[in-house]
Structure 1
Amino acid sequence: MKRILVPVDFSENSVFAVDIAVRIANSLKSKLRLMHVRTGKQYFPDFAKDNPRFIIEDNDEAYMAHLVDRAKARYDVENGVVDYKFRQGNVVKEITNQAHYDDSIIIVCGTHGVSGFEDRWIGSNAYRLVSNAPCPVLAVRKEMDVSGEHKILIPIDSQKVSRMIVPNVT
């Protein structure tokens, strides 16, 4: 069974990416794996602001279990699996390694967009992920309207391999 990988940093956008990935997994009848890369930084998830149960530092296991339970409630694939994985290290490198190891068909990640000097100077994790991933990457923002039908832009050039992609996308 195919697998979709969803990197999670517990931001609102990454929680939204989980919701989108569940919809895609249901449509493609695929497995779903959430993953978090531990970088040594502390964080407080947006979804846990009003829940005293989550006011514990370094409690990423509980945060992830909450997200997995939330995803399983919407996941509707017979004999499908929703699980999670933790990795330690460089965010982009660990996500690409996990996608390669799982033979993921797509990575669905949340992104906040470019803002601030640091992102323009160094580049965002989402940009580096799109550039280095072994499979397609769908970068989503919470503000996106995902209801109804939308058009997809397929950038191609004059190379034969580029033209061969079009029938697969349509």
Structure 2
Amino acid sequence: MKKIIVPVDFSNCSKNALLNAIIVAERMNMELVLLHSFMLPMATSDGTPLMVGSMIDDLQNASESRMTDFVKENRELKRVKFSTEVTAGLLLASLNDALKNHDTAYVIMGTYGASGLKKAFIGSNAYTVIKNVKRPVIALPEDADITKMKRIAMSGDYKQIPSAAAIESVIKLTQAFFAHLYIIHIDQDKALEQDELEIAKGMEKYFKKVPHSFHFKRDYDVEDGLLAFAKEEDIDLLVMISRHHSLIDRITRGSETKRMVMDIPMPLMILSEPK
């Protein structure tokens, strides 16, 4: 059975992500893995070793106890198959280890709608996961609800056709919720060039399984254009493809995906694509 990994920190934000994940798991006949990773303060400021075996055990036991309480508080978990994992270390390392042990379809995690340093820290943490995890990641603001989603938008650059695996993860989610899939391209130009039209035609064959439509919107700012489209069409989930840009690309125009994760106040699904 395919699985959905849900990183949890026992906050209301991760609880909301879990409640959404339960519905997705029900719709797609998947199992949940609740993953909590706790940090180990390994040394004092002068480099003196701090942690000993008993202290590590205490942290492990305390975290496992909190996980037990978290499960009891979320009775909706009874509706799906699930397991829990409590590990020490950074979230990314723990998540990648979990991915090696489970046939994972999606990672569903909460993102905090905070400001200042807290937003920068949490946003960077979410972006680190998205950048380095080779599975579709659904990032949910703390009040987000995708349990009844009917409109899913996929941002395409029409520069190259996404991998079949990436597209399939979107198709299956769209089918599970009987949703309509919008493929939206934002560009500064007035019209698509011939090679971009060919890419769009090449993508058409992948979307025959679901109701879908192609859209082109002119805007000088990708984020503004996507937000405007999402508002106009009442989009429930925005899907983006995160590709590894060259150093020149990062310097000249920055990372659009990172800006989305940090700034857009709506549910996002990020698909990882190789170079």
**Alignment TM class, shorter chain as reference:** 0.7 to 0.9
Which residues of structure 1 form unaligned runs of 5+?
42-56
Which gives a bigger RCO, structure 1 or 2 (Cα 8 Å, sep 6+)?
A: 1
Is 1:160 the equivalent of 2:161? yes
Q: Percent identity?
A: 28
TM-score by structure 2 length?
0.48
What are the residue-to-residue correspondences of 1:35-46 with 2, within 5 Å? 35-40=35-40
Offset of residue 150 of structure 1 = 4.0
TM-score by structure 1 length?
0.74
1:101 aligns to what? 101
d(CA) in 2 for partners of 1:122 and 1:30?
27
1:103-152 deviation per Cα after TM superposition (whole angstroms, max 9, x unaligned): 21101111104632465489521111111112111111232244543422
Offset of residue 87 of structure 1 = 1.5
Residue 66 of structure 1, aligned match among 65, 69, 84: 69
Kindly provide the amino acid, as one letter, of the partner of residue 18 in structure 2: V
Structure having the higher strand fraction is 2
Conserved in 2, the CA contact under 8 Å of 1:25 and 1:31?
A: yes
Which residues of structure 2 form unaligned runs of 5+?
42-57, 175-209, 211-275
The structure with the largest alpha-carbon Rg is: 2
d(CA) in 1 for partners of 2:142 and 2:123?
20
Conserved in 1, the CA contact under 8 Å of 2:109 and 2:137?
A: yes
2:246 aligns to what? none
Q: How many residues align?
A: 152
Q: 3-state DSSP class of the match of 1:19?
A: helix
Kindly provide the amino acid, as one letter, of the partner of residue 2 in structure 2: K
Offset of residue 20 of structure 1 = 0.9
d(CA) in 2 for partners of 1:21 and 1:96?
19
Which of structure 1's runs of 4+ aligned residues deviate more than 3 A? 69-75, 117-123, 145-150
What do you get for the CA RMSD once the two structures are aligned?
A: 2.9
2:26 aligns to what? 26
What are the residue-to-residue correspondences of 1:70-81 with 2, within 5 Å? 70-71=73-74, 73-77=76-80, 81=81
Offset of residue 35 of structure 1 = 0.8
1:75-117 deviation per Cα after TM superposition (whole angstroms, max 9, x unaligned): 434xxx3110111111122213312331211011111046324
Kindly provide the amino acid, as one letter, of the partner of residue 82 in structure 1: F
d(CA) in 2 for partners of 1:114 and 1:101?
33
What are the residue-to-residue correspondences of 1:74-89 with 2, within 5 Å? 74-77=77-80, 81-89=81-89
